[in-house]
Structure 1
Amino acid sequence: MAVTPQSVRQRRWLTVLAAGTLALTLGSCAALNPVQTLNRTVSTAGLTVQTDLVYGSTERQKLDIYAPQNVRGAPTVLFIHGGSWANGNKEDYRFVGESLARAGYVVGVMNYRLAPQFRYPSYIQDSAQALAFLRSQAARYGGSPDNLFLMGHSAGAFNAVETAVNERWLREAGVPISAVRGVIGLAGPYSYDFRDFPSRNAFPEGGLPDEIMPDRHVRPDAPPHLLLTAENDQTVHPQNAINMERALRAAGAQVERREVARVDHVTIAGALARPLTWLGKTRADVLEFIEAQRLR
């Protein structure tokens, strides 16, 4: 297909839009709100959408549900936003809920309590609690309570992986281990010394990586994982995913690590949006994994 000047300009605009979209949630852009523009390009017509469902007692403990109509027993996916545990909002990820619901899945997009007021493990407990709530509501929207997937970007990927691999969190939330069919991490910081970074304010003072990082917590019956890294990531080093993969393999868990070409730390998530799939293979890789791991 020929590339016209108009299509080049459009792609350049969409690239800027995609970068600005998630940069906003990562705290690097405050003047504009391009996420609203992106979310206006995706329609939820024909989907069931419920917003601000309460899964806990604080203002941030809410989630939105996106579901296709007339489905039964569909995979149920919980998506967790990034933002260095101190920023981000579920409303910014409407495009994720729409994209995955169009693929036939029941999707929860959650908020969680933010640092520095709330530090580890508060946001992990929120992830587990939100998953328990979503599981309790899944059948109402056509999803299966025993066909669960955890998914997150950046800090949210840390939350998703830690919630699944550390046996404590699902047990405390009352979610059966067997109900979680898979975990998807997009550019997550699973194995780093937070004491050397501004994100240290999301962890307990005096806390140590060996006590907190997900790659130190892997249980033998951890669910299958898909760890996606961005070829041009300048924020989270891919060594995090390499270390996480190594820990999962050592525990005997199924894991696949893939690099998404051309994308960076922001656009690896932006490529989940159906209008932006040309940015990279994020959406295709995610759907392939869910289809391979789902209950039939």
Structure 2
Amino acid sequence: MKKFLWVLSVAFLLVQMGLNAQENAPKTEYKQEKDLSYYDAAIPDITPYQIERCKLDVDYPENGRDLPVIVWFHGGGLTGGNKAIPSGLKEKNYVVIAVNYRLSPQVKCPTYIEDAAAAVAWTFKHASEYGGNPDKIFITGHSAGGYLVMMLGLEKKWLAKYEIDANKLAGIIPFSGQAITHLTIRKERGISDKQPVVDEFAPLFHVRADTPPILLITGDREKEMLGRYDENAYLQRMLKINGNTKSTLYELQGYGHGMVSPGMPLLVEFIKKTLADKAKEAKNETKP
């Protein structure tokens, strides 16, 4: 009995020491740089509105190295919204970049897609300055932001302008992104938001087998905006038909269009799994 109590006491002491060590461990400090321009102010024909809107914020842990990088695009129907780091991405040991882009009706399609591409190109160029790894860049966003990341990840021409292969992206994570031609683009053409169009400005038009890993997240099909779940389900189906094995679709039951917060744990787990799979593949490739 005495021996049992001694063992129990030692075990308790070790646990307590571990807890104390965690409490006394230095807390990671996070820094933020705000309103960085992702276009060169010296480029020809740059406009005051472009200078005003085309900025981004970077949130990053001090002294980080080899970190995943998450580029976040806000929603707002391509007509509104502003950059902000989602709370679910803060202090997760990521480099997080929140992007503003130009909006309709001040600009027309495809300007906002071009801005999104320029911001991602900036990220590839500068990620390492903040402890990020350019091979671990994930692009994500909600609603209009989800539409933008699908366009960049599926249609290669937008990033090709910057000599970047879209397949260099580590992953694409749209939250309730529009898979058909965006409703604001249709509105610019005088088409109703309830009239579906699938053309070169629809992510669905660009389905292919060899994409980066894709995580599609939507709200409940009965609560979502304008059939957004169904669009994403069809997108995933067409990806599979084209031989793509890298897409996953989650429908968040009980949630409507505003489902970013409950969807964040899915994003975090997806990034963790994707990077683990990538590391495993690299290890297997080095085996004799």
TM above 0.5, yes or no, is yes
Q: Cα offset for 1:109?
A: 0.4
- Aligned-pair identity in percent equals 31
Question: Secondary structure of 1:212's partner?
Answer: coil
Question: Computing the radius of gyration over CA atoms, which structure comes out larger, 1 or 2?
Answer: 2
- TM-score normalised by length of structure 1: 0.73
Q: Say whether the 8 Å CA contact 1:166–1:214 is kept in structure 2.
A: yes
Per the alignment, residue 242 of structure 1 pairs with 233
Q: 1:47 aligns with which of 27, 30, 36?
A: 30
Q: Say whether the 8 Å CA contact 1:119–1:204 is kept in structure 2.
A: no
Q: Say whether the 8 Å CA contact 2:218–2:224 is kept in structure 1.
A: no
Could you tell me how far apart the structure 2 residues matched to 1:125 and 1:229 are? 25
Higher relative contact order (CA 8 A, sep 6+): 1
Q: How does 1:85-124 map to 2 (within 5 A)?
A: 85-90=78-83, 93-94=84-85, 96=86, 98-124=87-113
Q: Cα offset for 1:55?
A: 0.6
Per the alignment, residue 256 of structure 2 pairs with 264
Q: For residues 69 and 251 of structure 1, do their structure 2 counterparts lie closer, same or farther at Cα, with a shift above 3 Å needed?
A: farther
Q: Say whether the 8 Å CA contact 1:146–1:180 is kept in structure 2.
A: yes
Runs of 4+ in 1 over 6 A off after TM superposition: none
Per the alignment, residue 201 of structure 1 pairs with 187
Could you tell me how far apart the structure 2 residues matched to 1:164 and 1:204 are? 27
Alignment of 1:289 onto 2:263: no
Q: Say whether the 8 Å CA contact 1:85–1:202 is kept in structure 2.
A: no
Could you tell me how far apart the structure 1 residues matched to 2:163 and 2:36 are? 19
Could you tell me how far apart the structure 2 residues matched to 1:203 and 1:73 are? 44
Q: Say whether the 8 Å CA contact 1:82–1:156 is kept in structure 2.
A: yes
Alignment of 1:64 onto 2:57: yes
- TM-score normalised by length of structure 2: 0.75
Per the alignment, residue 3 of structure 1 pairs with none
Q: 2:172 aligns with which of 167, 177, 183?
A: 183
Could you tell me how far apart the structure 2 residues matched to 1:204 and 1:136 are? 38
Q: For residues 80 and 233 of structure 1, do their structure 2 counterparts lie closer, same or farther at Cα, with a shift above 3 Å needed?
A: farther
Q: Cα offset for 1:198?
A: 6.2
Alignment of 1:76 onto 2:76: no
RMSD: 2.4
Q: Say whether the 8 Å CA contact 1:80–1:152 is kept in structure 2.
A: yes
Q: Say whether the 8 Å CA contact 2:219–2:254 is kept in structure 1.
A: yes
Q: Say whether the 8 Å CA contact 2:180–2:203 is kept in structure 1.
A: yes
Per the alignment, residue 31 of structure 1 pairs with none
Could you tell me how far apart the structure 2 residues matched to 1:106 and 1:198 are? 31
Unpaired stretches in structure 2, ≥5 consecutive residues: 1-27, 40-45, 280-288
Q: 1:125 aligns with which of 85, 102, 114?
A: 114
Q: 1:148 aligns with which of 133, 137, 144?
A: 137
How many residue pairs match? The answer is 234
Could you tell me how far apart the structure 1 residues matched to 2:170 and 2:32 are? 24
Alignment of 1:225 onto 2:214: yes
